Chain A
Amino acid sequence: MVTKSEEEQLNRLEAQVDNAGGGAWEYLCLVRKLKVRRPDKVLKHGLAILNDSKKRSALGTEEWTLCEQVAVAAMDCQSLDVAKDCIKVLRKRFPDSKRVGRLEGMLLEAKGLWAEAEKAYSSFLEDNPFDQVIHKRRVALAKAQGNITTAIECLNKYLDTFMADHDAWRELAEIYVSLQMYKQAAFCYEELILSQPTNPLHHLAYADVLYTIGGLENLQAAKKYYASTINLTGGKNRRALFGVCLCTSAIGQLSKGRNKEDKDSPELQSLAVAALEKDYKQRAPGKLPLLTSALKSLRVSS
């Protein structure tokens, strides 16, 4: 996760570099450290450094790190020639490095030579079955080919060993959601909430999945998780506010005619409506009628 101050720093540096104010290397280092994806900028400024022999030699051994970074960025931008050149330079410097081999596999992937990339990755995994990056590349490869079931298989195999890797759990959850396998997705989101209990995005996604599954019990749970998202974001998350409204109306419909014994938070939805109206009034007054009509159709606008 990139914190707000880090993002500000990154954007400031980026503006400075874009206006030829120097600090390109610092910018690239920061991009690498935060693991953000800005391939166009990295390619432009990284290549400028690599082509300048004086700046390049001033980097010392960091030169190779930059080469790798630029190669990956170039693949992202489909400038395969640049990537190829970078990888060639690296291969010459490190003749039997696995890290360079990984880059070569990625280049094959970028070219769309799936079978060859797959072969390269499998041979790496034979050498070292615990290379997490290669495992993830294989999942990406399957996904790129549209082989969702293979991707799920690979991810499950990976998670069987590396079960504390929450990024992999999130990927799996998103794949399951895309396939409408909500029960499985819910399990993944539970796992994510366990590993990062204070991340509101996981609570929100879990609530979405529970709401989609439906049923009284799930709807009530979904409402609770929307509430916890509101709690964790300080009420700034609109999706969670809408979610509370939707859940309340759905619960109301389902439990119509029954005794209403569990009214633990009767005010929550009216408060959510009020918060939404206030927010829309402030930011998008033109859309306020839309909001009121939408909420009225839910019959929650009390």
Chain B
Amino acid sequence: MAEDLVLDTAIRDWVLIPLSVVMVLIGVLRYFVSKLMRSAQIPDAKLVKEGQVIVRARNLRAAANFIPPKSFRARRLYYSNEENGLLYVPKGQAPNAQAQMFSDPNMAMDMMKKNLSMIIPQTLTFAWVNFFFSGFVAAKIPFPLTQRFRAMLQNGIDLSTVDVSYVSSRSWYFLNLFGLRGLFSIILGEENATDDTQRMMQMTGFGFDPTKSLGAEKDGLDIVQHDWTMPKFERRAEAVLRKLVR
């Protein structure tokens, strides 16, 4: 086992530093490009309203016991009657998210723009790193690590004898890709950081269906047992006052 691999200073000057600098520059560039391509989004009227309906219905469910029974019944009817209740979704009318996406070209366009600004630079830089810097041992971290980290730190080097604390160039690329977020938030301002990981999360969360939560909210409202707490409060108020007067 090679105890001490001596790393050439030229590797530092021509691999490690250029790689980091290029990654930062690409991040900044991508931010500006995506800013150019971003179209001002006007939220869909129905979506906005549905979100608000859900909030209001949730409030009703949570605080139902604070209003008189008559008012509660009127509200419940308003929300969940089968003709034009706010929470009532007619069967078969619930739109399929997938179908909606294809029927609305704008939506697909936005998705594509987002993806393009993310995927194209990534593939290009990855190809560039692979072509020029494959197989370099670019850096050494100053503490020992267990074998499990080999896949993370020595991507591209298929040697089991090299100590795990050495970092290969391709791994350095990945570390930069995901680790530069803090730096971007300093350079580009707090909320402007291009955050790949978060974007990926959004991608997977796509297809959220508000009509489903409308239905769930309606079911929740239907089973609420109304029990007006105010009569209890009278007795409690008496106790409060008794303490105050004494």
Interface residues of A (CB under 8 A from B): 128-130, 160-165, 187, 190-191, 193-195, 197, 221, 223-225, 227-228, 230-231, 234-235, 264-265, 267-268, 271-272, 274-275, 278
User: Which residue from B42, B56, B68 sits with its C-beta under 8 Å from A163?
Assistant: B56
Q: Does B49 contact A (CB under 8 A)?
A: yes
Which residues of chain B have C-beta atoms less than 8 A from A224's C-beta? 230-231, 233-234
Which residues of chain B have C-beta atoms less than 8 A from A163's C-beta? 49, 52-53, 55-56
Residue of A nearest to B54 (CB): A164
Residue of A nearest to B66 (CB): A197
A161 to B238, CA, bound (A): 41
Interface size grouping (class) on chain B: 20 to 34
Which residues of chain A have C-beta atoms less than 8 A from B59's C-beta? 164, 194-195
Q: Does B245 contact A (CB under 8 A)?
A: yes
Which residues of chain A have C-beta atoms less than 8 A from B45's C-beta? 129-130, 161
User: Which residue from A194, A195, A231 sits with its C-beta under 8 Å from B233?
Assistant: A231
B231–A264 contact, CB under 8 A? Answer: yes
A271–B241 contact, CB under 8 A? Answer: yes
A227 to B229, CA, bound (A): 11
User: Which residue from B42, B68, B236, B241 sits with its C-beta under 8 Å from A128?
Assistant: B42
Residue of A nearest to B239 (CB): A231
Q: Is the interface of B mostly helix, strand, loop or mixed?
A: helix
A231 to B60, CA, bound (A): 22
User: Which residue from B52, B67, B71, B237 sits with its C-beta under 8 Å from A164?
Assistant: B52
Q: Does B244 contact A (CB under 8 A)?
A: yes
A227–B42 contact, CB under 8 A? Answer: no
Which residues of chain B have C-beta atoms less than 8 A from A272's C-beta? 241
A275 to B49, CA, bound (A): 47
Interface residues of B (CB under 8 A from A): 42-43, 45, 48-49, 52-53, 55-56, 59-60, 62-64, 66-68, 71, 230-231, 233-238, 240-242, 244-245
What 4 A-B pairs have minimum CB-CB distances, sorted nearest first? A224-B230, A164-B55, A227-B237, A271-B241
B49–A161 contact, CB under 8 A? Answer: yes
A225–B230 contact, CB under 8 A? Answer: yes
Residue of B nearest to A224 (CB): B230
A70 to B134, CA, bound (A): 58
CB A203 to nearest CB in B, in angstroms, measures: 8
B56–A164 contact, CB under 8 A? Answer: yes
B233–A161 contact, CB under 8 A? Answer: no
A194-B66, A231-B240, A235-B240 known; A264 vs B245 contact (CB < 8 Å)? no
